[in-house]
Amino acid sequence: MALTTLPLLDAAEAASLRALLATAQWQDGRATAGAQAVRVKNNQQLAPACDAARKAGAVIRAALDRNPRLLSAALPRKVFPPHFNRYGGDANRYGPHVDGAVRLAPGGERVRTDLSCTVFLSDPQDYDGGELLISEGDSRRSVKLAAGHAVLYPGTHVHEVTPVTRGERLACFFWIESMVRSSEQRRLLFEFDEALMALRAQGESNITVTMAGTYHNLLRMWADT
């Protein structure tokens, strides 16, 4: 399963977003669910146009732009604006579902959901449950990360959020349309780039120059901008 976890926000940024979201007006998450998801969705979300969502979204976008590992893994062409959800109390779970293949962003732009990303904002010790379960065939991964850490995974996978039985789980979620549509090609490019960065950390050489050229030639071959 192609799944990448990485730190995105530092502790202070995650804490500031929690404080901002604590004062926000939340709405029933089912208002934005499709016909299949509405049957299993039971959480709360921020209205995308509200002040808190816009301020928090700007923090997330800035963090994305400065994170080379996420950019390498996703190779973004378009990013759907970050959304925010809350689990706890009676609105505490999201059953198994698959995200829609294309999302309509504000302004009418369509974004193909090649990759899904969840950024955990609550400290894991502050709530029980709330694991993100990601399935691929008979394989299943359970993800519950430290505040400020993100998980990136293919939008094609069935996933769910288990019931939060204590406390509150705050998170950001969004989708990425990649320049490289093939998940296999993206995986190969990411592994190539990771290996190249490890070699370059030991010093530049003719080999690293050649490898960098090969990486960019493959990207040039496969990318759609």
In this prediction, residue 1 carries a pLDDT of: 55
3-state helix, strand, coil in the chain (%, to 5): 35, 35, 30
pTM above 0.85, yes or no: yes
Take residue 150 and report the two structure tokens written for it.
Answer: 């993100």
Question: How large is the angle between the packed helices 11-22 and 51-65, nearest 10 degrees?
Answer: 160
Beta bridge partners of 45: 27, 85
pLDDT of residue 121: 98
Give the residue ranges of the chain where pLDDT is below 70: 1
